[in-house]
């Protein structure tokens, strides 16, 4: 089942001069080659893997911005997807679908994603990944298709900001005695969020060593995984911006592996519930110009995978 065509009419701009508008940070040399915006459109996008030729989809209306980014890279698809998750899966995000060419459904799934045609966007059916998230507070939807071909990465990112809801005047207390109940969020460590920062972990610049201190964040995560044996978490390591990118990516992976090892050996978490990777300094949460900011950037995040 193919997605409905994307209506993109209000703004169309192309060329490397748009680098300042890149919505997702990719490896060095990334260029925004095309960006479109429609003040109001309806977009259909996959929220499930292909099965028997059918791809579950959802619709979203609002302001639609589509960006296509190209970048030279030697990173693997898995590492690039970790980088993508670290930027799109925020505290209030709900992951709608997270898959790669191995799990999305190949050709049938690819056909369900409306893409900008070559040469701006090229999709290798054997090497692509897809991520869709919805903000639980604002309702904004972001979905991205990432592929590698001939040493070049291609990323199409679409964000849909819903139109403001109409203001409805509610009856005053004297006009109605009905009580309106506010829905509560589901309970749990990841309630209303797709990712959490494992606060309190201490890493010195250039080091992946984790001390023997008692880390409440690890204890809470271990308890969550024990209560949810079908859950899988990706541990994503981050560094400050001291040094070059590749050594920092290696270091960030080592930090994530150190946390994974502690959770397995120290808290008895089954290894199958934990994955580990790193994105170096590509996704800072604070400035790297101060010691305090660099300390905040040296961290490990836990990303809950869609079930």
Choose one of 138, 161, 184: the last residue of a domain.
Answer: 161
pLDDT digits (tens, 9 = 90+) for 62-95: 899 999 999 999 889 988 998 899 889 877 888 8
**Do 290 and 213 share a domain, yes or no?**
yes
DSSP 214-280: --HHHHHHHHHHHH-TT--EEEEEE--SSS-HHHHHHHHHHHHHHHHHHHHHHH---GGGEEEEE-T
Q: Judge whether 250 lies within some domain.
A: yes
Same-domain check for residues 261 and 151? no
Count structural domains, the chain.
2
Whether pLDDT at 15 is above 60: no
The domain of 126 spans 11-161
Q: What CATH number does the domain containing 201 carry? A: 3.30.1330.60
Highest averaged pLDDT of the listed ranges 20-24, 69-73, 178-182, 245-249:
69-73
**Lowest model confidence (mean pLDDT) among 88-97, 196-205, 221-230:** 196-205
Q: Which two tokens stand for residue 94?
A: 């709900």
The length of the chain is 307
Nearest alpha-carbon partner for 81 in 303, 274, 263, 262 = 303
Domain annotation covers residue 182: no
**pLDDT more than 70, % of the chain:** 83
Of 146, 161, 176, the position where a domain reaches its end is 161
Query: Is the residue at 31 inside a domain?
Result: yes
Q: Is there a single domain that holds both residue 48 and residue 152?
A: yes
Residue 152 shares a structural domain with residue 247: no
Q: Tell me if 178 is assigned to some domain.
A: no
């Amino acid at each position: 089942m193919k997605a409905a065509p994307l209506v993109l009419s209000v703004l169309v701009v192309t060329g490397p001069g748009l680098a300042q508008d890149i919505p997702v940070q990719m490896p060095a040399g990334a260029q925004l080659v095309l960006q479109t915006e429609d003040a109001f459109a309806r977009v259909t996008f996959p929220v499930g893997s292909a099965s028997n030729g059918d791809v579950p989809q959802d619709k979203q209306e609002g302001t639609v911005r589509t960006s296509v980014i190209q970048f030279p890279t030697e990173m693997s698809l898995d590492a690039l997807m970790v980088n993508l998750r670290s930027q799109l899966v925020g505290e209030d995000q709900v992951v709608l679908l997270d898959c790669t060419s191995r799990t999305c459904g190949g050709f049938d799934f690819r056909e369900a994603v409306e893409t900008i045609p070559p040469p701006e966007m090229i999709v290798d059916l054997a090497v692509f990944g897809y991520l869709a998230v919805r903000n639980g507070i604002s309702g904004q939807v972001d979905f991205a298709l990432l592929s590698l071909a001939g040493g070049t990465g291609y990323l199409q990112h679409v964000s849909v900001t819903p139109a403001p809801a109409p203001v409805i005047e509610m009856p005053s207390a004297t006009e109605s005695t009905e009580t309106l109940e506010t829905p509560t969020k589901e309970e749990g460590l990841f309630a209303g969020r797709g990712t959490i920062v494992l606060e309190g972990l201490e890493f010195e610049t250039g080091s992946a060593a984790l001390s023997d201190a008692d880390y409440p964040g690890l204890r809470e995560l271990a308890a969550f995984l024990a209560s949810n044996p079908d859950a899988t978490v990706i541990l994503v390591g981050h560094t400050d911006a001291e040094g070059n990118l590749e050594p920092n990516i290696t270091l960030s992976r080592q930090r994530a592996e150190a946390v994974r090892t502690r959770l397995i050996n120290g808290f008895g978490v089954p290894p199958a519930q934990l994955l580990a990777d790193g994105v170096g300094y590509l996704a800072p949460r604070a400035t790297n110009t101060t010691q305090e900011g660099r300390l905040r950037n040296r961290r490990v995040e836990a990303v809950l995978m869609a079930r």
